[in-house]
Amino acid sequence: MNQASDQPEISAITDFLSCCLPFDQLTDSERNKAARQLKIAYYRRGHIFIADNELERGLCILRSGAVEIRSPDGQLLDRLAEAESFNITGLDTEHPGVKAVLIEDCLIYNLPEDCYQQWRSEHRFFDRFFHGQRSRRLRRAARYEPDHNAMMRPVIELMSCDVLRTSVETSIRDTAQAMNERRVSSIVIMSGESLYGIVTDRDLRSRGVAQGIDVDLPITNVMTQRPYFINSDATVFDATLQMTQQRCHHLPVIDDGCLRGIITASDLMLAKRDDPVHLVQHIYRQADVGGMKNVVSSLPNVMQGWVASGVRPHQISRILTAVSDAIARQLIKLAIEKLGEPPVPFAWLGFGSQARAEQLLGADQDNGLLIDNSMLPEHKPWFESLAHFVCDGLDLCGYPYCLGEIMATTDKWRQTLSGWCDAVNGWTRAPSTDAVMRVSIFFDIRVVYGSESLGLQLQQHMLSRTKNDTIFLAALAANVLSHSPPLGIFRRFLVERSGEHRDSFNLKKRGVIPIIDMVRIHALANNIYEVNTRERIDALIKCKVITLNDGRNLQDAFNYIMQLRLQSQSEQIVNGQEVDNYCNPEDLSDLARQHLRDAFTIVHEAQEAIRLNYRSGMA
Amino acid sequence: MSAYLWAKKAKRLWYKNKYQYRHQDKDPLLVDFLTHAWPDAGQGFDQAPLLVVDLETTHLDPAKGEIASIGWVSIDNGQVTMKSADYYQIQLKQGVGQSAIYHQLRDDELSQGLKIIEVLNCFLQAAKGRVLVFHYAQLDMGFLNLLFRRVYGVPVVAPIVDTLLLEKAKYLHNNSMITAGVLRLFSCRQRYGLPDYPAHNALSDAIATAELLIAHVAHRDEKVKLKELF
């Protein structure tokens, strides 16, 4: 193997290039030629590439690290990892002002702009690859466009045109009655064809009722004369600004002195669809399941936005749980409208991730009905219909039926308080490992709708039974230990060997669930009422069941794995794939792999502690 | 000017005069190497020309071993320039011995290598006016100096950056103790999240060292001047 002195083979580089699209299609000698054109640079996390920088032009191939491509206003367009590449100049012509933000330290192989263009002109497949890649990115970008434009929409799209009007002679009482009939919070007072004044709920309260004014007086006594108004070509942004500056919640929309409509603060809020508060509010406004389904269909994209804007994982899961709570509550309200008032008090229970406020996308429904002991046999059908209505609705809204049938529709999970207590007694008296596994999520319990005190009584009973029951806790511990983190000897990742998820492992099953299970068993053994995993760990630290250090480690590990889960789900959304919990360690950067390994090691060590605490002396 | 570079310049002038006195301008490439201007010590790393060099040798002791192969790559404007990457195998007088296990070179391959003088000519051209970079300079410079003295009668005089010493200082700053292996090229690279390379080829090790140096420099908080690396 005598190397010609002018062309040494750079195998370290060419081997890598042969794994990079589209360099894998070049011949060996072409690849070697490309390798010799490269320049290698190292940038630290946080560095930003923009098209203006001469030195950073050309095709940047990521040798290690990760990069996010963001639009000028910070929208995430793409996320790149090892062996992927970007050309900031090319992206900039399609998307002016685009930037590449390094989210990890990066080693970058740079193919200078002139060489890059030459490869593209010499090789059609080369050109096509980068051309196609660019348009794919654009499509993705387009899908996420509307949110930040919401503020720039004209008010005319959002205002209500059907304004309630009245004349100056109308009495306060009649005005209030008219507002009540139409269920609106404001009314405009017209003098002929022109706007004379406006009356809002607040005016009626502060200038009317609070002053003890005679309600038969004309409305002009309480109205605001010559109110602020806005033109119909103004944007949502203008309107929001005007409302905050002038501290009003209603703005008449006027063109050339003619009243066109009215816009209120709540109209503006609803325009901001990606705001979680308004998402939840929106759900409560829906009058049927179809409407709710529409609202939640935007959830994946909205969540993707939250992940991209750096909302922390436990906050995201809390918001997602709030959304599913809202849906359940609204469904129950609709059911009550349909079925009539409940015959006896009841509580709608959420179990598992919903109870712990740790739901992510794709969660199935785990729920139950807890009914007051005063229930009579003839009330049973009412609760059965309620359960069916709500569970069917949840399924339609994207929370599929629970495969283990942990749903209020099953008789076992729809019982009176004493029935539930008997069930708890049964599970704790003769705990078989199998039974324990099925019911373990029952011990994460939260009242989603209805009587809090019923839920509390059940929880009290449950904790009083489990607290000192070593046999039950040992059975639970066996269940905990059955899910081990996917680490093999030498801390290598263990992945699925075959099937759909080959070379991946399930982050939920192998990472999240072991932690949740461990924390739960500690909580049950120590009479802790919290159900959220982070809060449980805090409580466990407080009553000195685990050390501060171990607790923090466990919380960090939990956070990290949840974050990875969220990120991979968010990537799946961007790529238009089904959302699942699988993760291929090969897709992670070295640093992320290292962190994940550390997290799994913490889980593993904590499991050993469980073995010693609850299963000492057992196999 | 830093004392380090000043001393190097004085030393180089001395050896240049010595060489010219003995041999006149017998080897113009060497004279060029001995006179070409070096970068200023106060210059930023991102403007300085450097050459990262790695040798594979048949023994750890320069007196007992030979250079089997040499690879280098230059750093310009803070970036590793692959165009400059070069690699040569050298005809051996002795056998490869035990080290073949590490370098995967066999005697028959090496016997086809270039004569050492041809390689040196290329090296002189590539290295002139550049700061030399090694990972553990002591070993490689031992071999190079001995070779230079045998061939030209003068040692290699050049400003030298040693990534191992840089990493050692940094490691000691952050940790109390050096444990076995932490200063090896690949352990150092791992600390910066740099990828693994198939190890032990003079060129890939030179590239690996060059990447380590640019990563090291990027992780210093301020703009790095050349003199801070000596």
ipTM of the complex: 0.89
Q: Is B204 on the interface with A (CB under 8 A)?
A: yes
Q: Please check whether residue A355 is in contact with residue A531, taking contact to mean a CB–CB distance below 8 angstroms.
A: yes
Query: Which CATH code fits A275-423+445-457?
Result: 3.30.460.10
Distance CA B198, CA A498 (A): 29
Range of weakest confidence among A349-358, A467-476, A588-597, B31-40 = A588-597
Rounded to 10 degrees, the C-alpha dihedral A481/A487/A491/A492 comes to 170
What is the predicted pLDDT for the residue at B132?
96
Top residue of B72, B74, B77, B80 to mutate, by most chain A CBs within 10 Å, is: B80
- What is the sign, positive or negative, of the torsion defined by CA atoms of A525, A527, A529, A534? negative
Domains of chain B by residue range:
3-229
- Is residue B84's pLDDT more than 90? yes
Domain A155-270 fold? CBS-domain (3.10.580)
Q: Which of B82, B192, B193 sits opposite A40 (nearest CB)?
A: B82
- Is residue B139's pLDDT more than 80? yes
Cis before residue A22, ω within 30 degrees of 0?
yes
Average pLDDT of A234-242?
81
3-state secondary structure A96-149: CCCEEEECCCEEEEEECHHHHHHHHHHCHHHHHHHHHHHHHHHHHHHHCCHHHH
Q: What is the percent of chain A where pLDDT is above 70?
A: 91
Residue-wise over B171-187: b if at least 16 C-beta within 10 A, else e?
beeeeeeeeeeebebee
Q: Which of B86, B192, B214 sits opposite A41 (nearest CB)?
A: B214
Query: Which CATH code fits A467-619?
Result: 1.20.120
What is the predicted pLDDT for the residue at A148?
44
What is the predicted pLDDT for the residue at A568?
84
Distance CA A609, CA A540 (A): 14
> Which spans in A7-68 are helix H?
11-17, 28-37
Average pLDDT for chain A? 82
What is the predicted pLDDT for the residue at A284?
83
Distance CA A573, CA A570 (A): 5
Distance CA B83, CA A111 (A): 11
Q: Please check whether residue A447 is in contact with residue A454, taking contact to mean a CB–CB distance below 8 angstroms.
A: yes
Q: Is B81 on the interface with A (CB under 8 A)?
A: yes
pLDDT tens for each residue of A273-325: 566 777 787 788 888 888 888 888 778 777 777 777 667 788 888 888 888 89
Average pLDDT of B196-203?
76
What is the predicted pLDDT for the residue at B102?
47
Q: Is A44 on the interface with B (CB under 8 A)?
A: yes
Looking at residue A413, the DSSP 8-state letter turns out to be G
pLDDT tens for each residue of A496-519: 776 777 778 888 888 888 899 899
Q: Is A7 on the interface with B (CB under 8 A)?
A: no
Q: What is the percent of chain B where pLDDT is above 90?
A: 39
What's the token pair of residue A466?
């489990």
Distance CA A329, CA A325 (A): 6
Rounded to 10 degrees, the C-alpha dihedral A408/A409/A410/A416 comes to 50
The values of phi and psi at residue A218, to 5°, are -65, 155
Range of weakest confidence among A58-67, A275-284, B209-218 = A275-284
Top CATH class of B3-229 equals alpha beta
Confidence class for position A331, pLDDT limits 50, 70, 90: very high
What is the predicted pLDDT for the residue at B51?
96
pLDDT tens for each residue of A8-49: 678 888 888 888 878 888 888 889 999 999 999 999 888 888
What's the token pair of residue B138?
């002591």
CA-based nearest residue to A100, from A135, A130, A137, A136: A137
A213 CA to centre of own chain: 50
Average pLDDT of A166-187?
86
Burial of A483 (0-12, 13-18, 19+ CB in 10 A): buried
pLDDT tens for each residue of A355-382: 888 888 777 888 999 999 998 888 999 9
The values of phi and psi at residue A59, to 5°, are -85, 125
Q: Do B195 and A107 touch (CB under 8 A)?
A: yes
For A603, residues 6+ apart whose C-beta sits below 8 A from its C-beta are A485, A511, A514, A515, A518, A554, A557
Q: Is B203 on the interface with A (CB under 8 A)?
A: yes
Top residue of B79, B108, B163, B214 to mutate, by most chain A CBs within 10 Å, is: B79
A43 CA to centre of own chain: 32
Distance CA A416, CA A517 (A): 27
Q: Which of A5, A39, A591 sits opposite B80 (nearest CB)?
A: A39
Q: Please check whether residue A397 is in contact with residue A279, taking contact to mean a CB–CB distance below 8 angstroms.
A: no
Q: Is A205 helix (H, G, I), strand (E, B) or coil?
A: helix
Query: Which CATH code fits A11-143?
Result: 2.60.120.10
